[in-house]
Amino acid sequence: MAERHDAALIFDLDGTLADSVYQHVSAWDSALRANGLELSVWRIHRRIGMSGGLFVRALRRELGRDLSPALIDSLQRAHSAAYDKIVDQVRPLPGARELLATLTAQGVRWAIATSGSRDVAERTLTILSVPVGVPVVTRTEVAHAKPNPDLFLEAARRLGVEPRSAFVVGDSIWDLLAAQRAGSLGIGVLSGGYGENELQQAGAYRVYADPAELLLRLDELGIRISDRSHPPA
C-alpha cells in the first residue's frame, strides 16, 4: 500500500464559515464614529480579517493622523461592544455545517485559524457545531495575526500535517497572503464580499461562492468523499 499524503483543511472563520463580515464592518464603523473618526465603510470592509495592529496602522495612514494608545484601546472596546449587540444576527454560511460534518465523518483533518479573539470565536464555533477536539487557533495564541503565516502554521502543527499538505480556505486577501507565506495552497470564497479576481491575485488556487459550493467540489482539491457518508441536509 502506498504512503498516504492526505490533504487537510484550515479554515478562516469570519466570512468563510460564518456570515459575520458585514456585522464586523458595521461594528468598526460604529466604533470609529463613537471616537470621532470617519473612514469610508468600504475601506473598513477591506481591512476585516487582518491583524488589529496592522489595522490600526492602516487607519493612521488613511485618517492622516496619529492615534494614541488610549484611543486605540477605546476603539477596540467600542468595536467589541458594538459587535456584541449584533452577534445574534450571525448565522453559518450556506453549507458550512454540512461541509465540516462531512469532513469529520470522512476522517479528513481540519482546523480553524482566525485573527479574532478567543471570546468572539467561541460564540461562532457554537453556531457552527464545531466538535470539541478540532484545533482552533485564535489571535491570542500567536505572535502575529494575518497576513503573517503564524496562525496557519500553528494550525498545521496542531493537525500534525506539513503546511504544504494543508489547504487554507479564506474569504479575504489577508488569508490568501498568509497562506502563501505559510507555503499552503489557498482557496478563496466569495462569501466575505471580495471579488474573485482580488482573491486570485492574492494567490487563490480556486475560488468558490461559499462553503456549500466547496462541499460540492471537494474533488477539485483531490479530497475523496464517498457519497453515502454525506450527512443529511
Chain contacts with a second copy (rule: CB under 8 A): 19, 21-22, 25-26, 29, 33, 38, 40-42, 45, 89, 91, 93-94, 190-198, 201, 210
**Structure-block grid coordinates of residue 232:** 443529511
Contact 138, 51 (CB under 8 A): no
d(C-alpha 32, C-alpha 114), whole Å: 22
Taking each helix axis from N to C end, the angle separating 21-34 and 69-86, rounded to the nearest 10 degrees, works out to: 130
Contact 159, 1 (CB under 8 A): no
Q: How far is the CB of 22 from a second copy (least distance, A)?
A: 4
**Structure-block grid coordinates of residue 166:** 494543508
d(C-alpha 179, C-alpha 96), whole Å: 20
Q: Return all residues near 94 (Cβ < 8 A) that are at least 6 apart.
A: 210, 211, 212
d(C-alpha 72, C-alpha 159), whole Å: 35
Q: Return all residues near 217 (Cβ < 8 A) that are at least 6 apart.
A: 206, 208
Q: How far is the CB of 77 from a second copy (least distance, A)?
A: 20
Angle ∠(158,162,168) on CA atoms, nearest 5: 80
